[in-house]
Structure 1
Amino acid sequence: MAEFLYRLGRGSARHARKILAAWFAVLLAVGVAFALGGGTLSNAMSIPGTPTAQVTDKLAEKFPEASGGTGSVVAQTSDGRAFTPAQEKAISKIITKATTINGIETIVDPFASEAERSKQAKDIKDGKAQITDAREQLTAGTTQLDDAEAQLNTGREQLEQAISQAKAAGMYEPAKAQFDAQLAQLDAGAAELEKQRAALEENTPELEAQQESLEQGASLLEMAAEIRTVSQDGAAAVITTVFTEAQMDIAQETKDQLVAAFDDTPVAGVSFDYSSEVSQGIPSVFGVGEAIGLLVAGIVLVVMLGTLIGAGLPLLTALVGVAIGALGAMSLSSVLDMSSVTPMLGLMLGLAVGIDYSLFIINRHRHQLKDGYSVRESIALANGTSGNAVVFAGATVFIALLALNVTRIPFLGLMGSVGAVSVLIAVLVAITMTPALLSLVGTKILSRKERTALAAGAAAQPVLAPSPKKAVRAMSTKGAIGTAVVSIALLLVLAIPALDLRLNLPDGSSEAHDTTQYRAYSAISERFGEGQNGPLLVVADLPATNTDEAALAYQREIAEALFAQPDVVAIAPAGTSTDRTVAAFQVIPAQGPTSVSTENLVHDLRGLSPLDGKFEIGVAGAASGNVDISEKLAQALPIYLGVVVGLSMIILILVFRSIFVPVVATLGFILSYFAALGGVVAIYQWGWFSAVFGVDTPGPILNFLPTLLVGILFGLAMDYQLFIGSGMREAYAHGASSRLAVVQGVRAGRAVVSAAAIIMISVFGGFVFSHSAMIRPIGFALAFGVLVDAFVVRMLLIPALMHLAGDKAWWLPKWLNRILPDIDVEGASLERRHPHAEAEGSPDPAVPAKSS
């Protein structure tokens, strides 16, 4: 590999303009691809096969009109008074117009909805009154019939007595016709009474059915009482939009047109705010925080390299690399379900490693120039040595990120793949574009003072070489023990908050308080109840029925059982499928979508299935999906951590040919990982230093952050271990004692590792103040993780433990030593194959050779 990179660097230097033209052609191509293929980014995420995904798939099949994504527009009066009729009419007019936007299934008019609800309540009240009147009439009619029947019976008894008396007196026959007529009249009266009684009895079942229907309606209306579209004071309204596509597939154009429909038609005295499902789009790629991070990185580069040209080259190569990576990723967003974090992650990683990787090569090149190497000779050798280390370091990050696919979580695997490709591009740019640029700038990569000294034949002493006036001494054993104990104690203390880690996706409450998403969230919480920001969708399988009445009875039975659960404040039927086999319900929890009670409620509702032994139920919705994703990620984290730890051990054994070094290096990575998680929990979940980091509302930690942090921090930790540890290994191999080699290795690598770490901290830290609530904790976790890993683990803890281990630090079983390949990361063998050409044979007369 080193020889290949040597030739690649030499060829890139010779054909510098062609290499630069090729890279800018690639940049132009991905720019065109983004313009043509850029699609939708979303904060919504899903994992196939989870309970929520299964319920959503069932809805899409059986009840498609209820399976589309949703978003909310919150309207509020400026003076806090109830909407005027004119304002209501103007808002309803906007809603009617917005309903025609392509991609929108329907928009619920809150005023029409409240009017309909009031009408239903009135109809139920009037119906109950009518049924009461009808019952009273039935009772009165029954009483009248009973009285008439009693009179008939009395008349019949009197007639029978008269007949008996007439027979006894021998007068019956003459009066028989009269008696028969009276009996016939009584029988006719009895028949009429029986007919009237039958008519009353026929009306009773219908009246009972009407009363049952009214009771069902009243019960459902009562359970849905807290689901309002207009606040009780009449000063706020929630305009719910149902899209035709699933949440991840909603076109950005559709959301933009919806926002424009309200913003472009202002209503006097009314303000509109939009939930994150509506207002969230492609996040800002470059903001003030990112600019400050780059500025700090530039200052570090100037201090490290001594020239503005030298500082500008790593920045230029990094920006070209991240532009290619970010635009390339976003050009695929029209064909892949891509979260808004995915391209931003590639940008963060590409920018940080792109600067560092170019810096490693340029730093080596500068030292070689000052040692008398010609420009092209130095470029080729720097690319073959430091470039070889860059390829190896990039490979560790690439593999760790690509390994995110082993979690079998699609959106996380896509993030890892995009991040891995961004790192790959950064490596390719570093080993091709950097040599080309170095060839064009020539000796101007050195400061004027350095060039003057070099022209005078005074070759500078290598910066990283120890001063001959100061003898290198090994650290004391007592100092090593103290350093190790303090370092471990510090890392463990920092990791303590990680024990309280709670995972979820951020909601509107996590956004900055000056954003429309936060205003919409807080308005709904204050005026409608916090639970309405995260309603659950409960789907139930109904027994086969041929009547709407039976289906309604089933819905009432299910709704009453769900409403009886703790932390359910309201429930309303959302409809049934056309074949009456599936019913959907909107369930409003007591607290917000990321609360512990809502998470418990999701599990409790699922635990009820089969409800009453006959209704299979499932839970869906954004809050339910976030719970499932968090749990799935928590289950995948140990597996992925095990893969990364195993990978770490193998790589480090190959590089350092030691058992002890890989073990302590990996344990150090684990400590820095949990310390970084502890810092994230303390700030973003507990709210410590919230004013400093702009955490307006502390809450659960981004659910995929711990898994993502494993892959990225592992790769970067291995980079630092490589540059610190390889110096120790080289010193030990050249005859230094094991403990002296530790000090020499730290001194040789600390300058470049410190600079690289500060640059990464600056770049990642710039994203801490990003506009996106998802990006901010990722930026902090990476910046803080690099800080503790580079400056505590790699520069303090590992050297202390290496000192205490002594010669045992480099022990390796003989059988393993024989079978392991020889990986020359630093390119020492390359230097032997391509020894430095002295002045007489220098191919580049622009730079004088090193004086003898």
Structure 2
Amino acid sequence: MTDSRPASIGDHNDKFPPTTAPRPRVDDAPGRLASLGRGCARHPWPIIVVWLVVLAGAVVADRVWGGTYSDDFTLPSTESGQGSDLLTDRGVTESSYSARLVFHSDGSLVDQETPIDQAIDQVEAVDHVLAVSDPLMGATTSQDGTVSYATVQFDGNPGGFGPDFVDDIDDATDAARAAGVSVDYTGALGQAAEPVADDRRSEAIGIGVAIIVLLTAFGSVIAAVLPIASSLVGVLTSMSLLGLLASRIDIATAAPTLTVMIGLGVGIDYALFLTTRHRQQLMDGVDPVTAAGRTVATSGRSVLVAASTVVIALSGLWATRIDFIGLLGLAAAVGVVVAGVAAITLVPALLGLIGRRIDAWHVRRPVAEESATVPKDGETDDESDSASTWRRYALALERHPWRYLIVGVVVAGVLAIPTQAMELGHVDDGASAQGSTTRTAYDALSDGFGPGLNGQFTVVIEPPSSDSADQAADVGSTLQEAMAGADGVESATPFAASQDGTILFSTVTPSTRPQDSATDDLLHTLRQETIPQALDGTDTTSYVTGMTAAQLDFRDIVADRLPEIIAIVVAAAFIVLLLTFRSPVLALKAAVMNLLSIAAAYGVIVAVFQWGWGSSWLGVDQQVPIESYVPMVMFAIVFGLSMDYEVFLLSRIREAWLATGDTRGSVATGLTVTARVITSAALIMMCVFFAFVASDNVVIKMLAVGLGFSVLIDATIIRLLIVPSTMFLLGRASWWLPRWLDRLLPHLEPEPGPPPARGGVPAARA
């Protein structure tokens, strides 16, 4: 049987015809996506008005009913959570939510006892405050008398009380400030007191860079502004929706910034891919409405696959069974979903409204996709005047695939080396921005009492009910002596009994700061050695709790469940790609390549933040551990975003293959026509992420650097070196699909073939 399809670009015909039959052209079998694109382009104003109404309604609803964001690391099933609940149940503490008011002055605070007492009385009268301790007791005042602290207990998370609550605390402590005493806050109160993260500067930087990149790459002012406009509508809508969610559930303080980062990045990218393809079809003489239908049926299909992959990856975070982590994934997913919907509805509507005027304003001769023109008779690809730089690059890859593959793998492998030294932990308040209330309070407590005061443990023991008070006291005395003598312990207070006498509790102060690995080691030593040995032979139950213990328990759970998350996300993405491209080889290759890019991105954040290579340039003045949940969140986001570029590249390769049956030529064609737009999209997203290093939050900086470098690595080393080189080496094996699997897999939206060129011959690049 003779294959009637045209040969691909270049002389690379395979010996065997493709196993997949030629697909019908877009015009012959448009499908629902093509109909959606044409409908939006033919009737743009109703679509635009609907989006504006949705945006306005979401913004107004958020202003009226929107909630606030707060971090909640409580884990009831852990030892720290059980110990905290026990302290509350037995009346030792009023609540599991507490913070410190830190009073500090150049002189003795005892001389300012009256205004400090007035401040304490006023704080006790504030709504949501359950109890306030006396800051001028001996144990809570430094030896030189210049620093003291009071523990405040709340009936909920202070981060959820709104900005007026912090104002009330500020007003209540004004009496002390008026007397020359500085007052700062720790914990959740300190976080609530910090200015709300203003992402407008980062957003402006990202948008400004995006406009420059789009103008430089594509020449048209309108084509540059359109992706920005659609992405901003999507970001504002998703942010408002997230605010409404925050009124019902506790969502982390990093969530809104994460939503903006992801929503803005993918929103611009999705709109860019659609706009670029639409403009190419206009240049090929297609009318705007038909061009919009073809664009949504082809690039729009890729957008939906890419967005679905990102959402699936983010949804995998729920496998941690930790609401804090799952809700971070939900926040990012909201931005991706809205961006994807805007791409296949709002973008074609704007394109239809603009029509052929898309290049009316331009800074240079407008261009769209790279040309993959067939060389003239008697002329090689390299000699053709029409052969673009990317075309020549694709042919160089084809001639030396092993060479480029080895280079790419070595570079990615070198970047991944620091990953082996990754230390998960919690970035404590000592890494906060200089001048912030949390950093000032942290430094004051460290100066007055030592760094360990910022990371104290509370040890709770519950003797058997049959034990007398004297027996329980003896057990407590033995344990207190053992803990005080343990390595890494600065002090351990004598055990005190709850009012009902059923439990005893002691405060252990480490000699190191909360984020030091020595503090982590001390927690494990107390739980696994010191306390069990001291309580050996008794039926006493023990718990080590406190904020630092809770954060370390959180870290351990996240680390234990990270492999599970990786397995779930990789498996889900494999299935999506298998359904999309009907090739287990390509789906497996994509998963492996993405794991390589993620490992390289992990290596970068370890080198920058944990080893301190250049961290001072980012405003981080010390080495810090990798925040426990950052690798997990990064994995879900990076894996999903990496699939974006994989999907866009493979979609064009598959289109060319369906049109020609030539595997090697299709890889060269797909790389040629997508390299510039993928590189431009990646540059935009990278700059959007890097713009957020301006945040004062160290965790946001960490995510910004990790995500920015991951996009850079993925769009260059992975997508331009390793992926095409691998496909050149695999050849026809890339499209292998067992017959039994072909029968088993469902057929999704009809996959469009390339539209006819003006001469009537299918164009692989259109």
Pairwise TM-score range, normalised by the shorter structure: 0.7 to 0.9
- Supply the distance in 2 between the matched residues of 1:41 and 1:574 (Cα, whole angstroms): 37
CA distance in 2, matches of 1:437, 1:64: 62
Counterpart for residue 73 of structure 1: 101
Deviation per CA, 1:704-757: give whole Å up to 9, x if none.
111112211111111111122222233333336433332222111111111111
Letter of the aligned partner of 1:90 in structure 2?
A: P
Separation in 2 of the partners of 1:695 and 1:545? 54
Alignment of 1:360 with 2:273, yes or no, is yes
Correspondence for 1:746: 671
Question: Deviation per CA, 1:395-435, whole angstroms, max 9, x where unpaired?
Answer: 11111111221222221112212222221111111111222
Q: 2:125 aligns with which of 81, 93, 100?
A: 100
Match of 2:191 in 1: 280
- Aligned equivalent of 2:108, options 57, 82, 105: 82
User: Take 1:452 and 1:532, find their aligned partners in 2: how far apart are those partners?
Assistant: 65
Q: For the Cα contact (< 8 Å) 1:248–1:337, is it kept in 2?
A: no
Instruction: State how far apart, in whole Å, the 2-side matches of 1:398 and 1:579 are.
Output: 51
Residue 420 of structure 2 is matched in structure 1 by 499
Conserved 8 A contact 1:505-1:594: yes
1:109 matched to 2:134: yes
Matched residues in 1 for 2:110 and 2:365: separation?
80
Pick one of 289, 295, 299 that aligns with 1:376: 289
Residue 413 of structure 1 corresponds to 326
1:402 and 2:312 are equivalent in the alignment: no
Aligned-residue identity in percent: 35
| Matched residue, 1:184 | none
Counterpart of 2:60 (choices 22, 32, 40) is 32
Once the two structures are superposed, the pairs formed by residues 682-693 of structure 1 within 5 Å of their partners are 682-693=607-618
Question: Is 2:655 aligned against 1:730?
Answer: yes
- The runs of 5 or more residues in structure 1 that have no matched partner are 115-227, 454-459, 839-852
Aligned to 1:709: 634
Equivalent residue for 1:12, pick from 26, 40, 57: 40
Alignment of 1:59-70 (within 5 A): 59-63=87-91, 65-70=93-98
CA shift for structure 1 position 629: 1.0
TM-score, normalisation: structure 1: 0.78
Cα distance in 2, alignment partners of residues 253 and 541 from structure 1: 40
One-letter amino acid matched to 1:33: A
Distance 2:607 2:620 in 1: 11
1-structure distance, mates of 2:594, 2:702: 19
Give the whole-Å Cα distance in 2 for the aligned partners of 1:16 and 1:101.
54
| Greater CA drift, 590-599 or 651-660 | 651-660
Distance 1:825 1:696 in 2: 55
Cα distance in 1 for partners of 2:310, 2:119 equals: 51
Query: Are 2:698 and 1:773 aligned?
Result: yes
Question: Cα 1:58–1:248, aligned 2, differ >3 Å: closer, same or farther?
Answer: farther
Q: Which of 294, 314, 336 pairs up with 2:249?
A: 336
Instruction: Report how many aligned residue pairs link the two structures.
Output: 712
Q: CA deviation at 1:287?
A: 4.0
Q: Conserved in 2, the CA contact under 8 Å of 1:274 and 1:517?
A: yes
Deviation at 1:37, TM superposition (A): 3.3
The one-letter code matched in structure 1 to 2:46 is K
Residue 142 of structure 2 aligns to a residue whose secondary structure is coil
- For the residues of structure 2 that align with 1:339 and 1:239, how far apart are their CA atoms? 26
Asked if 1:465 corresponds to 2:372, the answer is yes
Judged with a 3 Å threshold, the aligned counterparts in structure 2 of structure 1 residues 461 and 104 are, in CA distance, closer, same or farther, namely closer
Deviation at 1:700, TM superposition (A): 1.0
Residues 806 and 7 (structure 1 numbering): CA distance in 2 closer, same or farther, change over 3 Å? closer
Q: Is the 8 Å Cα contact of residues 456 and 509 (structure 2) preserved in structure 1? A: yes
CA distance in 1 between counterparts of 2:362 and 2:704 reads 38
CA separation of 1:451/1:348 partners in 2, compared to 1, >3 Å: closer, same or farther? Answer: closer
Aligned counterparts of 1:614 and 1:71: Cα–Cα separation in 2: 33
Matches of 2:759 and 2:287, distance apart in 1: 8
What is the Cα deviation at residue 591 of structure 1? 1.0
What secondary structure does 1:617 align onto? strand
Which one has a bigger Cα radius of gyration? 1
Q: CA deviation at 1:57?
A: 2.6
CA distance in 1, matches of 2:590, 2:368: 32
* Residue of structure 2 equivalent to 1:611: 535
Secondary structure of 1:734 counterpart: helix
Distance 2:159 2:466 in 1: 35
Give me the whole-angstrom Cα distance separating, in 1, the residues matched to 2:281 and 2:506: 72
Distance, in Å, in 1 between the alignment partners of 2:350 and 2:654 is: 32
Contact persistence 1:361–1:383 (CA under 8 A): yes
Deviations 1:754-785 (A, max 9, x none): 11111110111111221222211111111111
Once residues 663 and 590 of structure 2 are traced to their aligned partners in structure 1, the CA distance between those partners, rounded to angstroms, is: 17
Partners in 1 of 2:741 and 2:466 — Cα distance? 72
Deviations 1:202-233 (A, max 9, x none): xxxxxxxxxxxxxxxxxxxxxxxxxx422222
Instruction: Write the distance in 2 (CA, Å) between the matches of 1:667 and 1:37.
Output: 44
Aligned pairs for 1:640-679 within 5 A: 640-679=565-604
Which amino acid counterpart does residue 242 of structure 1 have in structure 2?
Answer: Q
Distance in structure 2 (CA, Å) of the matches to 1:625 and 1:250: 22
Q: Secondary structure, in 3 states, of the residue corresponding to 2:149?
A: strand
1:569 has 2:595 as partner: no
3-state secondary structure, aligned to 1:588: strand
Residue number among 785, 791, 803 corresponding to 2:728 in the alignment? 803
Q: Is the 8 A contact 1:511 1:696 kept in 2?
A: no
**Partner amino acid, structure 1, of 2:122:** K
RMSD between aligned residues: 2.9
What amino acid is the match of 1:295? G
Relative to structure 1, the CA distance from residue 513 to residue 464 in structure 2 (aligned partners, 3 Å threshold; closer, same or farther) is farther
Unaligned runs of 5+ in 2: 1-28, 376-383, 761-766
Deviation readout 1:151-185 (Å, 9 max, x if unpaired)? xxxxxxxxxxxxxxxxxxxxxxxxxxxxxxxxxxx
**TM-fit CA distance, 1:263:** 5.2
Matched, 1:258 2:169: yes
- Secondary structure of the residue aligned to 1:774 is helix
Q: 2:677, 2:750 → 1: CA distance?
A: 16
Q: CA deviation at 1:553?
A: 5.3
Q: Take 2:368 and 2:181, find their aligned partners in 1: how far apart are those partners?
A: 72
Distance 1:11 1:476 in 2: 41
Contact 2:432-2:439 within 8 A present in 1 as well: yes
Q: Secondary structure at the match of 1:696?
A: coil
1: distance between equivalents of 2:526 and 2:294?
66
Alpha-carbon distance in 2 for matches of 1:326, 1:771:
20
Distance (whole Å) between structure 1 residues aligned to residue 518 and residue 160 of structure 2: 30
**Aligned AA (1:542):** P
- The 3-state SS of whatever aligns with 1:105 is strand
Give the whole-Å Cα distance in 2 for the aligned partners of 1:300 and 1:673: 25
Q: What is the distance in 2 between the residues matched to 1:392 and 1:569?
A: 56
Q: 1:541, 1:583 within 8 Å by CA — same for their partners in 2? A: yes
The amino acid that maps onto 2:107 is: R
Say which structure is richer in helix: 1
- CA deviations 1:39-91 (Å, max 9, x no partner) are 342234233412222222323322363533222232322xx333462x33222
Q: How has the CA–CA distance of structure 1 residues 247 and 47 changed in structure 2, closer, same or farther, with 3 Å as cutoff?
A: farther
Conserved? CA contact 2:94–2:130, under 8 Å:
no
From the superposition, tell whether residues 331 and 276 of structure 1 become closer, same or farther in structure 2 (CA, over 3 Å): same
CA contact (8 A) 2:306 2:643 kept: yes
Distance 1:748 1:374, change over 3 A: same
1:479 paired to 2:400: yes
Q: How does 1:236-255 map to 2 (within 5 A)?
A: 236-245=147-156, 252-255=163-166
Please tell me the residue identity of whatever aligns with 1:237. S
Q: Which amino acid aligns with 1:635?
A: D
| Correspondence for 2:12 | none
Give the corresponding residue for 1:514.
435
Structure 1 residues 799 and 546: CA distance shift in structure 2, 3 A: closer
Q: In the alignment, is the contact (CA less than 8 A) between 1:649 and 1:663 conserved in 2?
A: yes
What amino acid is the match of 2:448?
R
| CA–CA distance in structure 2, aligned partners of residues 689 and 544 of structure 1 | 57
Q: Structure 2 length normalisation: TM-score?
A: 0.86
Distance of aligned partners of 1:451 and 1:542 in 2 relative to their CA distance in 1, 3 Å threshold:
closer
